Chain A
Amino acid sequence: MGTLAAAVGLLAAMLLFVGHSLGTMTGSAARSVPLDWQGPVGSYRAASRVAAAVRRQPGVAEAAATATAPFAGIEHVSAANGAIRAGAGAILAVAPGYLAHIGTFRFLRGTLRAGAVVLDQQLAATLQVQPGDAITLTPRAGARAVRLPVSGVALVSAPDRLFQPLNPLLGPASAQPPANIAILPLRTFAAKVAPVLSAIGSSLGVSAVPGALAGTQWQVQAQVARGALGGSPARALQQATQLRNRVERMLPGQVVFVDNLADSLSSAAGDALYAETLYIMLAVPGALAALGLAYLAALGTAERDRRNLALLRARGARRRDLVWLAALESLLLALVAGPLATGIALAALHLAGARNGVGSGRLLATLGISVALAAGGAAAARLAAGLIAFRTSIGEGRRSVRRNTQPLWQRLYLDLLALAVAGLVYWLTVRTGFSAVVNPDSNPTLSLSVYMFLAPALLWLGTTLLLVRLRGGAVAWLARRLSGGRPTTSSGFLLASAGRRGVAINRGLLVLGLLLAFGVNLGLFTATYDQQARIDAQLTLGADVVATAPPGAVAHAALVRRIARLRGAAAVGAVDHSYAYVGPDLQDTFGVDPATLARVTSLRDSYFLGGSAGQMLERLRTRRDGILVSKETITDYSLQLGDLLRLRVLDHRSGRFRIAAFHVVGIVQEFPAAPKDSFMVANLDYLRAVTHDEGPNVILVRASGDPDALARRIAAATGRFGTTVKNIREQTAQTVTSITTVDLRGISRIEEVFLLVLAAAAMALFVAVALADRRQELATMIALGASPRRAAGFLWSEAVLVLAAALALAALLGWLLAEVLVAMLRHVFDPPPDHLTAPWTFLAGLGGAAVAGCLAAAGLAALGIRRLPLGAILREE
């Protein structure tokens, strides 16, 4: 029963974990959206009316009339500093109570009061403004300036979404965030600023204008009640979309929303598909192997059951009676094993790091599923014995040895066929690069999913069936060869016996071997995955330690020099991370110093096309206006090396976008700290010259020791200048989570712990089943004069055989499966791995658990045999 509970517990833990993880993904995706819906409307009045109507809809937490608008300039005059001016920027106008449900900004100091203004911290710093001061805001060039008291300083989050052009037909389109942001009360804005600006209108059907606000964008901003979203990201996406459709249908012609929430959930749903794919690949074989172990446990009494059932049948029991008996017994067993399994699953979930609990509904569902699974598993084993008894004659059923006929699948050689097809699919996968493709579009689906599963699934199936076909033939053959003819020695008798117990040994080998193979597969895949995540992390972060600083801070505070003096900093360099438009596409742009970049970060040749990393940096160094662009940009804009590329960059001096000329000198695919899609790399000096920005804002540091400690030292030394410091270790943890979005480590940890336990249990169970199966034989040996130790030798010697064969099988099959999985899931890895990574500690632990189980089994055998009731057993027929 313990084994059945453990096996069902593993299944239940996986169900709970997957459900929990998908729920967590939904929560994370929804939380990451500061603003769910933005609906453009034509006027202040329309915004107020529609917001009130939307707010009344069920499932909507808040709807607020708001406006975004440009301003031409802003000035602060003080006695101490005189007049300080800042360039153009953007206004966010909000109604009172806006922040109750919508988190697009938060106050650092003060609050928003009627007739006053709140400045973004950057703008406040530029103007050297404190709450209580007054500024003058010029809405547009030539218009009369508006004098406003400053009532607070705020931090605006996600300005790229907040000030994006709103075109519901195009959906969300992140825009270059404005350099300066002022927040006004909606009434104040409507009264003092809006009259001098033109209104953009509802924008229905109008193309978004990227990069700059042309006038006042009246809009309704709304937040969906998080309670209305539940389940997996795909389910939440469906719920959110239905809710938006319903709201829009209720207000026909009045508002159509740009749906930031659906955008985020859609992306999460795509990630969830990756996760689900991995779960299927990693979890299902383990669960099946665990059920196989439960079946092995059930077989401990199957032989006796078979004979008892035959006896009952001889005495008049009908098939229906026996089925009822089996069902009743199984249900009773399940009523104990099910709750036990649920407890195990909850403990495993906790161990895997899920701290939020599972909720009473899901807990009850899991309990129900566990009881059902346990009942099903127990009934399957019982009925299997019963069916054998019914298929055979009563006399045959009561025999201690059964005759076997070859089943259809063996006559059709389905095992060899499955292995051949698995090999073929794998060969195609490797040769043609055919692999799993996830299509996270509006309706995420897995492409090629059927074929994708064929190689590992058929490899599992074929190997299992082949082992069943062999019936331990190889082990028996080896044992007979070793025993050498008619045995007369102790070892000869052990081998002779083992040679004729191929079926039983094979049963143990089948369960333990597949269990260990699954463990090896899981370990290799997870280790490879982690290794790639670390590589990915380095690529994502950019260097061992990265400090991001506010504009100008790097230059003004001489941060590069400060950091270079710190212990553990081997090399320090600065990069300017900004944005530029290629046509309508906003792309990340990196200004680098080609002469020093390689000292602070690792550049692989594979990051570039058409030349090595060194060659590409040299090309940049020798051409001041040179630029490296992505392959996608080259293709989309029909560019060639040497072509002129005109970019729209933000001129920080004027606050407006301007055209700057660059020349394409190379193609870049990956770059430290760059996103995975399109980006550009240019010379730092040239970029500064055309943008007039205040220099680098990212500092890359190569660590000579512990990056964690160095990051702490950098944070301590530069924190007062507003830096944010990240190091490779924390980035690795984040990358691991972001690749799969759900935590692959969690499910791996659950499975690894179960595997260690189950591997040990499998060995112990093999011996326990053999003890139950051979009790009369062992009792006879003792009656003949064999010592209990001698008799126990017949059990544990077989356990050793099973262990050795299972370890060999696991090494081969586990490695093969991991190779197939990695080849199939190549798209999960960025960049793809060169070879598998072996987690030696886990593999040693797995083997150790099996060996420990074997040793425990030897002790169990000796103890069990000593306790055999010889008199009673020898009376059994």
Chain B
Amino acid sequence: MNVVRHRALILALISVLAVAACRAPVTTDQLQGVKVENPTPKPEFTLTDTEGSPYDFAEETEGKVALLYFGYTSCPDICPTHMAQIAEVLEQYPQLEREVEVVFVTVDPERDTPERLRQYLDSFHPSFVGLTGTPEELEAAQRAANVPVATFDGEGPDYTVNHAAYVIAYAPDGLSHSIYPFGTRQAQWNNDLRVLAEMG
């Protein structure tokens, strides 16, 4: 009897471990990103998209969930990870694609030509919008979005750029309710994009 109990206990322990290992991501009706205490309105700026056309951020993203990110295509880790994470969620849930506009604003216009920017974004998702402009226009856009203005480190062609490493999410109501730092999981994006889409 003791042996049977002993084995049953081990089996129960294994089952618990199995369940723990296989825990499904929890979706809720609450935002899982970093909440913005006082939601700020969408910034007003117009830059140039990868086709060379003017892109009015507030107007073009009206009524949608807008994910605004300031980055650069030579970024080795944070920018590609953010883009890959969002792209994977959108690919998996095509219904979200219609409700979400991802806008990547380069902070490195010297290296990020429109062609390079387009090629870079297409490697994640063809719907991603790439914007560029003059250094002054880009600085003004960063100030309007209330993010730290990017600075440059190093000499020569391999300089690096210090930039805001988070994605700002604007709900269809035109306000930023949350931001997403590096480390945001796909499960969180999956949850929050749905929650944000309903904040009409």
Q: Do A and B come from one complex?
A: no
Chain B residues near A (Cβ < 8 Å) = none
Chain A residues near B (Cβ < 8 Å) = none
